[in-house]
Amino acid sequence: MHTFIIGANDASQRADKFLLKACPKLPKSLLYKTFRKKDVKCNGKRIPAETFLSEGDTVQVYLPDEFFVSAKKTAPQLRLPKPEIFYEDENILLMKKPVNLPVHADDKGSCDTLQGRFLQYLADTGAYQPEQEQSFTPALCNRLDRNTEGFVIGAKTAAALRCVNEMIRENHVVKQYFCITAGIPPKQHDTVHAYHRREEGKPAEISVTPREGFRPICTEYEILQKKDNLALLLVTLHTGRTHQIRAQMAALGAPLLGDNRYGSRKVNQQYGEAHQLLAACRLHFDVPAEGHLLSGLYGKAFGYTPDFCGKFGFYI
């Protein structure tokens, strides 16, 4: 038999989900067989797999101890640069990801990631003590392409992770981007409804009409400034699909400058740009003033002007 005391970051999740995280050596099939045999108890009572746990609960699993030898979590050993922090409280960290830094480990094998910098910073400041956690690791709530810079939200607690993820799903996190396009979009301001599909390893496809396998997207843009055949745009995402901005602007005849996947490699070479000029540089949390986990963010908006604006003579 093995006993777990449910901590704050373990609570509010199903018993089976908790045990799968806390016991990586426990086969999934054996765990569910154990539930079926009613050999899992919470506070002395047998429970089904879908039972939600609360802080302070005592969970007992009647299996040999060999299945509960888990790999101890430790702080990152590689010393990474500190993330650039725009905001921090007891729940979240708002960081700026630079170009060419992956959010998570990717197929290029980089040891330096924003997730790694985030965890190291939390461990260094004492906000994350990995050896004391049974099932939770602080996590990033949104992703950006390796060559897109901008804001990424890090959740320091399990409750914050659930909260921010729910806000993103319900469009209560307003994300806006600056980008420079090679070509002028057709309208000064427009909200474009279209359909999007992206298969693994292939560029995203955009359709103006519904098609099988395509999901609806909504992209709002406003031309802030124009110079020669370049335009500085403010883009607001109302949906969040992979490469949505890059593919949608290319479909409108104004691909992002530097974007060799969706734009013109020849034009990009003329301007000396090897990656897309795109920055997630405006962020607002739509939260009430009181009674919400993130009410401390009420009335706050975050923003910066990316360096590529001044490089091409756009000044905000």
Express each pLDDT in 108-122 by its tens digit.
767 899 999 999 999
pLDDT value of residue 200: 86
Residues 6+ apart with CB under 8 A from 290: none
Could you give all domains of the chain from N- to C-terminal order, each with its CATH number? Answer: 2-68 (3.10.290.10), 84-170 (3.30.2350.10), 176-280 (3.30.2350.10)
Confidence of residue 23 (pLDDT cuts 50, 70, 90): confident
pLDDT value of residue 24: 85
Give CA–CA dist 133/110, Å, rounded: 26
pLDDT value of residue 48: 95
What are the beta bridge partners of residue 58?
5
Low-confidence winner among 36-40, 66-70, 162-166, 281-285 (lowest mean pLDDT): 66-70
Res. 124: pLDDT tops 80: yes
Q: Are 96 and 87 in contact (CB under 8 A)?
A: no
Express each pLDDT in 249-299 by its tens digit.
999 999 999 999 999 999 999 999 999 999 999 999 999 999 999 999 999
Express each pLDDT in 188-218 by its tens digit.
999 999 999 999 889 999 999 999 999 999 9
Low-confidence winner among 99-113, 118-132, 138-152 (lowest mean pLDDT): 99-113
Percent of the chain at pLDDT exceeding 90: 85
Express each pLDDT in 145-179 by its tens digit.
999 999 999 999 999 999 999 999 999 999 999 99
pLDDT value of residue 109: 66
pLDDT value of residue 64: 86
Percent of the chain at pLDDT exceeding 70: 97
pLDDT value of residue 114: 96
Res. 75: pLDDT tops 70: no
CA 294 from chain centre, in angstroms, equals 17
Express each pLDDT in 259-272 by its tens digit.
999 999 999 999 99
pLDDT value of residue 1: 85
pLDDT value of residue 195: 97
Residue with tokens 């700026």: 96
Res. 78: pLDDT tops 80: no
To the nearest whole number, what is the mean pLDDT of the chain? Answer: 93
SS3 labels along the chain: CEEEECCCCCCCCEHHHHHHHHCCCCCHHHHHHHHHCCCEEECCEECCCCCECCCCCEEEECCCHHHHCCCCCCCCCCCCCCCEEEEECCCEEEEEECCCCCCCCCCCCCCCCHHHHHHHHHHHHCCCCHHHCCCCCCEECCCCCCCCEEEEEEECCHHHHHHHHHHHHCCCEEEEEEEEEECCCCCCEEEEEEEEECCCCCCCEEECCCCCCCEEEEEEEEEEEEECCEEEEEEEECCCCCCHHHHHHHHCCCCECCCCCCCCHHHHHHHCCCCCCEEEEEEEECCCCCCCCCHHHCCCEEECCCHHHHHCCCCC
